[in-house]
Amino acid sequence: MAEAGRTDERPMSPHIQVWKWHATMAASIMHRATGVALYVGMLMISAWLVAAAMGPDAYAPVQALMFSLIGQLILFGFTLAILYHFANGIRHLIWDGPRAGFDPQFASAVSVFNFAFAILGAAAIWSASHFL
Amino acid sequence: MSSHELRTPLGRVRGLGSAKEGVTHHIRQRVSAIALIFLVPWFVYSVSDATGGAYEDAVSFIGHPINAILLILTVGAAFYHMRLGMQVVIEDYISKTGTRQALLILNSFVTIALFAASALSVLKIWIDAP
């Protein structure tokens, strides 16, 4: 809404650069970032389902892509993103429903837990599906 | 203008007040999130397993009735949740009216088309399953 020729100085919201980074801020930004990443990632899940429905000839290139290094990195990133968005989404529901967990120190601890949950969870699922 | 009017005259002229849709959007976003709490753990575990094998493994996983039903429920809840979420992202960052409207329409088209393609693919595999 920045009209040209405005004479009065309107107050501006602080920009991201002037904030000291803290855990809840990173958690909030990451929630939106993983949401957008999952939007793109679901294109992949749809492609997988459609290719499977079309038959072996259509499935082969999709499978080749999934098993390539870049495909595996994308799938691992998808697992990380979905686990993070899942854990942090539950926290949002607890904020909205029972209205609990607003204490700053506790909220920071939950943010760190959610990041750890995503990383350790993705590592566990990938170890299980690759080595068991 | 009544004395109870909370909007400023400038706000009224610009016509950018409440569209009376925020609460419904908020509730829908959360209800689909609650559904996904139950579906996502199954989805992450099963799909990471099913995508790791050959064509026959994928088709026999998708074609199993329980998996097919859960897959359709998951993609239904997920694409609905994604459409609502991306709508907010577009509304937050794109202030140019034409671009914003175009992206909002594109968001609806993409999520609905992907839902239809995914659900119908699962149905076909389920129906074709021996």
- pLDDT: which is higher, A47 or A12: A47
Give the residue carrying structure tokens 């709508």: B87
Tell me the CA distances in angstroms from A100 to A18, A94, B14, B33, B69, one per residue in order: 29, 6, 38, 18, 34
Residue of A nearest to B27 (CA): A96
Q: If you write DSSP's letter for every residue of B77-99 in order, what string do you get?
A: HHHHHHHHHHHHHHHHH--SHHH
Quick check: helix, strand or coil at residue A127?
helix
Who wins on pLDDT, A6 or A66? A66
Residues in chain A within 8 Å Cβ distance of B85: 35, 39
* ipTM field: 0.85
A69's tokens: 């290094």
Q: Is A125 on the interface with B (CB under 8 A)?
A: yes
Q: Give yes or no for B47 touching A (CB within 8 A).
A: yes
- Where does residue A101 fall: left (phi above 0), alpha (psi -120 to 50 degrees), or beta otherwise? left
User: Residue B57 corresponds to which tokens in the numbers above?
Assistant: 């493994």
pLDDT at B57 over 90: yes
What percent of chain A has pLDDT above 70? 89
Q: Test A49 with B86 for CB contact under 8 angstroms.
A: no
Is the CB of A29 inside 8 Å of chain B's CB atoms?
A: no
Angstrom distance (rounded) from CA B122 to CA B116: 10
- B-facing residues of A in 64-123 (CB < 8 A) are 66, 75, 79, 82-83, 86, 89-90, 92-93, 96
Is the pLDDT assigned to residue B28 strictly greater than 50? yes
Residues in chain B: 130
Chain A residue with the nearest C-alpha to that of B123:
A53
The CA distance from A78 to A72, in Å, is 10
pLDDT band at A87 (very low <50, low <70, confident <90, very high): very high
Give me A48's structure tokens. Answer: 């997988």
Nearest to A28 by CA among A96, A108, A99: A108
Q: Distances in Å between the alpha carbon of B102 and those of A2, B80, B92, B94? A: 22, 19, 15, 10
Q: Read off the amino acid at residue A81.
A: A
Nearest CA in chain B to A38: B82
Confidence of residue B1 (pLDDT cuts 50, 70, 90): very low
**CA distance linking residue B1 with residue B125, whole number of Å:** 61
- Out of B40, B45, B122, the one facing A125 most closely (by C-beta) is B45
Radius of gyration of the CA atoms of chain B, in A = 21
Q: Do B89 and A89 touch (CB under 8 A)?
A: no
* Stretch among A4-13, A48-57, A96-105, B83-92 having the lowest mean pLDDT: A4-13
The owner of tokens 């904020």 is A95
Neighbours of B126 (CB within 10 A): 19
Of A53, A82, A129, the CB nearest to B40: A82
In the prediction, which pLDDT does B65 show?
96
Rounded-to-integer distance, Cα B19 and Cα B17, Å: 6
**Interface with chain B: mutation pick from A32, A42, A126, highest number of B CBs within 10 Å:** A42
A78 — pLDDT class (breaks 50, 70, 90): very high
Mean pLDDT of the B83-112 span: 95
Nearest to B62 among A49, A66, A83 (CB): A49
Higher pLDDT, A5 or B18: B18
Q: Give the model's confidence band at B4: pLDDT under 50 very low, under 70 low, under 90 confident, else very high.
A: low
Q: Verify whether the Cβ–Cβ distance A49 to B117 is below 8 Å.
A: yes
Instruction: Check the CA dihedral A117-B38-B130-A63 and report its sign.
Output: negative
